[in-house]
Every structure is written in structure tokens, then in C-alpha cells.
Structure 1
Amino acid sequence: MSRRYTYAEAAAELRVEERWLRRNIGRLPRSKKGRVVTFSDADLERIDAMFHHDPTTGPLAVVTTPAEGAHPLRHLRPLPPRGAAVRSS
């Protein structure tokens, strides 16, 4: 049988505040029997997957290595000159 977590235990496992869990309970996976709300291991994994975001900038960002001989900024294009008319396609 899988373990059941209370609000406080689930918040500690997810490293969030307990009040965040309580505020967002309507859109989170959980079990409820009467007034007692509990979270299973699978519920905690689903919550983590729903709200997990990898950093895109900074020292922890996952950086893809460019192909051999390709410049890492090759996808950038210069801006048009100031005052140039913007054309809509």
C-alpha cells in the first residue's frame, strides 16, 4: 500500500508552502475522504510534473551544444534600422 501524505508532509516533500497546496487544491491530484485530504506518492509525482520548469537562463540552464563548426548565435538576425517602415505580410 502506498504512503499517504497530509498537507504538511506533502508540502515538505514538494518543497512548497502548505498554504500553496491549500490554495491550489482544486486543480491538484489528491484523495479525499470526508474532509480529510491526502496525497499519494503518485499524486506528488503528478504535481511535480505539472509545475516543474527547467531554467532557460543562468548557470543552471540546460545548454545544447551547437553542431560542429556552427556558431552558437547563428539563429539571431539583426534588427531593422531605426525609422524603417514595418511591413505586414
Structure 2
Amino acid sequence: MTRRHTYPEAAAELRVEESWLRRHIKKLPHSKKGRVVTFSDEDLTCIDAMFHHEPEQAPPLRAVGAHPLADLKPLPSRRAASA
């Protein structure tokens, strides 16, 4: 028999707020007996797959030693232009 998780247990397992589970319950796989909502291990795996996002790969870094702002030049002074 598979383990059934309550809202607090499922939230802890998925590392989300319990309120997030409650707000999105209509979109999430779950079981309901009367008013009692439970999540199986398979439900939690499916929820994780539905909302899991891998970070995008960062752009390559410049050559070591070159500061990312090294190419910026300051604007001319406003005082010199208006005088």
C-alpha cells in the first residue's frame, strides 16, 4: 500500500507552501475521500514533474581579468554642456 500524505506533509515533501497546494488543488493530482485530501507518492512525483524548471545555462564569461563594466565610458558632464 502506498503512503498517503496530508497537505502539510505534501508541502514539506515538495518544498512549497501549504497554501500553494490549496490554491492549485484543481490542477494537481490528488485523492479525496469526503473532505479529506491526500497525495500519494506518485501524485507528488507527478506534481514535481509538472512544475519543475531547470535553470537556463548562463552566458559564457569574458576572459579572466576583464571586468564586465570595463568597456563603459562615463557621459560628459552636464555642466560643461549647458554653460
Provide TM-score, normalisation by structure 2.
0.68
Provide TM-score, normalisation by structure 1.
0.64
Q: Percent identity?
A: 74
Query: Match for residue 16 of structure 2?
Result: 16
Tell me by how many angstroms 1:34 deviates: 0.4
Runs (4+) off by over 2 Å: none
Unaligned segments of structure 1, at least 5 residues: 59-89
Q: Secondary structure in 2 aligned to 1:53?
A: coil
* Greater share of residues in helix: 2
Paired residues, what number? 58
Query: Which letter maps to 2:27?
Result: R
Larger Rg belongs to = 2
Q: Secondary structure in 1 aligned to 2:2?
A: coil
Tell me by how many angstroms 1:57 deviates: 4.0
Query: Match for residue 80 of structure 1?
Result: none
Tell me by how many angstroms 1:26 deviates: 0.3
Tell me by how many angstroms 1:40 deviates: 0.1
Q: Secondary structure in 1 aligned to 2:48?
A: helix
Any idea what the Cα deviations from partners look like across 1:4-61, whole Å, max 9, x if unmatched? 0000000000000000000000000000000000000000000000000000045xxx
Q: Secondary structure in 2 aligned to 1:55?
A: coil
If asked which structure has higher relative contact order (CA below 8 Å, sep 6+), I would say: 2
Unaligned segments of structure 2, at least 5 residues: 59-83
Query: Which letter maps to 1:34?
Result: G
